[in-house]
Structure 1
Amino acid sequence: MDKNPNSEAIDEISESIPGTIDGISEPCFSFGVISDIQYADLEDGYNFLRTKMRYYRYSLRHLQGAIEEWNEESNHLFFVLQLGDIIDGFNAQYKASEESLKNVLKEFKKLRAPVHHTWGNHEFYNFSRHYLRNSKLNTKFLGDQIAHCPETIPSENYYAYHFVPFPKFRFILLDAYDLSVLGIDQSSPKYQDCMKMLKEKNPNKELNSPQGLSEPQFVQYNGGFSQDQLNWFNAVLTFSDTNQEKVVVVDFFGKSKKDIWNAYINRILWLKGTIRNFPSSSFGR
């Protein structure tokens, strides 16, 4: 092989390396991802559908192991994404929600990087939206403010924000339970509207059952996005598009958009050319 291959050959080699962007393998930044910790001080048990075993106490050891690994990373870890279901819904039955959350957050304090939290259905099994908004699980203060673009400032009506860990990279955290019957006052108009929507799509007595549904995402443990949040999301994507930023979209459902009540979020993702799927947690420049 030629000791000095030309630039085209270098590009071809670089493009074949997994986890690279634009054909260059040097990472710009690294971050961690963890989801579904679902901690509870309980014996092992099955999930709601009785299809998977859950190791409630042992999950804390997995978190401890992840934090130890992240703290020992040779490359500086910029942040960690905690993708929801931080404690299990069974905690509510045993009035142990706050204590379990305290135990998990105690472990996260050992991490030498900021944590961005998203909210899943198990957060709402344990806490109201009002409680979460005033808890350590609200990391909206870590968000980026674009002063000259007020339409990119999220409303307090939903839990969503965006941040820039490195120039030309923007992460957008979405509230996948903005439309939901979980975690909100049952006397509120929003609850009534969401329950009406859910029952129109799901006639089952057990609203967590998708049995016989043509749109199986319409179950009680799922949720969706309000038009207000989608308009904000579109504004942030437009800003990133204009400024040639790479964008990573983060929410509780991740790639499984079939679980979202209003699937038209896919149309926004399809229309915006800045959205890309990245194969690893290291970003190249």
Structure 2
Amino acid sequence: MWCFGVISDIQYADHDDSLPLFPPLRTRYYRHTPKHLRTALTDFKTSEVEFVLQLGDIIDGKCKRHSREALRKILDIFAEAGIPVHHTLGNHDMYNFSHEQALKEIINNRVTRSSPPQAYYAFVSHGLRFINLDSYDVAVLGRAKEHPTYALAASYLTSNVNQDMNSPDGLEGLDRRFVQYNGAIGEAQIAWLSSELRAAEEAKQSVVVFGHCGVSPEGTYNQCLLWNYDQVLALLESSPCVKLVLNGHGHIYLHGVSATGKHYVTLRAVLETPPNEKSWMTVEVDVSEMKITAHDGSNVDEFVITL
């Protein structure tokens, strides 16, 4: 048996506790997040995890004036623990850096085991394939207006007429995903994802997918879905290898299971977890199953996935 850990939405900032601008209104403990991270890493070391998946928003948008200093503070905590970390990019990362800078500063930082040439990548551990999706491949965040994909990104937002395009007000149902803090998976990444899933099927490998934005209404809120979630979801649902799909972004813990038996999970945000509670996940893996222990504040969700 072996283990890995998962954590999301640390969103550190040297800022007083406060409430968010949009519901759900839960206190954000900005300065406490480094302490939570240290506690999580202690738990992970006790469980002897081999690596950690960090699901995005490693620092908060409030860090703009000292982004690198804030990022270094969190990366140093990861480094002290000595556990390899595989990062993905979140919207708050794009508030602090351009997409190109975030790839260099976060994805390819010194704590990460590998240095992929783009913000989406895959790796295999113990015969289990992990696929990281770049939720901001096509986005208005982190991209200059001159970028080749900016016009496409802006076209997704034409139905949002709010002055603050981070607001889903006036949008109904699944259309609530068309807000500025989300993004889409580009054509090249879609083709790459399809090839990764085929490779997993040929190798008879089970697959864990992770990223920042949600890909299924089963496991996240409509306003936290990828703009083209339906395109991604169709690929995942058609692959018998996909077992577990993890994302952050929604801040509230959600766990849904599709008709094909795939588990879609949104982790609770570290940022919105009170000081004496927990919000991370440990996954124990053997040849036949994964046993998941997910902390949701004072609650714990435990479930098993057959491989």
Q: TM-score, normalised by structure 1?
A: 0.79
* Count of residues in Structure 1 that have an aligned counterpart in Structure 2: 241
After TM superposition, list the pairs within 5 Å mapping 1:5-154 onto structure 2.
27=1, 29-49=2-22, 51-73=25-47, 76-92=48-64, 95-138=65-108, 142=113
**Which secondary structure does the structure 2 equivalent of 1:52 belong to?**
coil
Cα root mean square deviation, aligned: 2.2
Aligned with 1:256 (options 213, 220, 228): 220
**Cα contact 1:45–1:55 (8 A) shared by 2:** yes
Output one character per residue of 1:32-59: Cα deviation in whole Å (capped at 9) or x when no partner.
1111111011111112316121010011
**What is the CA–CA distance in structure 2 between the aligned matches of 1:137 and 1:44, rounded to whole Å?**
28
Partner in structure 1 of residue 164 of structure 2? 206
What displacement does 1:130 show? 1.6
> Residue 210 of structure 1 contacts residue 219 of structure 1 at CA under 8 Å; is this kept in 2?
yes
Q: Which residue of 1 aligns with 2:183?
A: 223
Aligned to 1:182: 141
Is 1:270 equivalent to 2:270 in the alignment?
Answer: no
Classify 1:77/1:119 alpha carbon distance in 2 versus 1 (closer, same or farther; 3 Å).
Answer: same
Task: Determine the C-alpha separation between the residues in 1 that align with 2:41 and 2:198.
Answer: 35
Counterparts of 1:241 and 1:86, CA distance in 2:
32
Report the secondary structure of 1:30's partner residue. strand
Looking at structure 2, the residues matched to 72 and 239 of structure 1 have their Cα atoms a distance apart, in angstroms, of 33
- Paired residues of 1:169 and 1:247 also in contact (CA < 8 A): yes
Distance 1:253 1:189, change over 3 A: closer
Matched-pair contact (CA < 8 Å) for 1:174–1:251: yes
Q: CA deviation at 1:243?
A: 1.2
Q: Distance in 2 between matches of 1:189 and 1:247?
A: 31
Partners in 1 of 2:26 and 2:178 — Cα distance?
22
Gaps of 5+ in 2: 245-262, 266-281, 288-307
Letter of the 2:123 partner, please give it.
Answer: F
Alpha-carbon distance between aligned partners in 2 of 1:121 and 1:127, rounded to the nearest angstrom = 10
Structure 1: which 5+ runs fail to align? Answer: 1-26, 145-153
TM-score after normalising by structure 2:
0.73
Q: For residue 102 of structure 1, give the secondary structure of its aligned residue in structure 2.
A: helix
Structure 2 counterpart of 1:244: 204
CA distance in 1, matches of 2:199, 2:235: 14
Q: Which residue matches 2:194?
A: 234
Q: CA deviation at 1:209?
A: 1.3
Residue identity over aligned pairs, in percent, reads: 37
Given that residues 142 and 163 in structure 1 are in contact (C-alpha distance below 8 angstroms), is that contact kept between their aligned partners in structure 2?
Answer: no
SS in structure 2 at match of 1:209:
coil
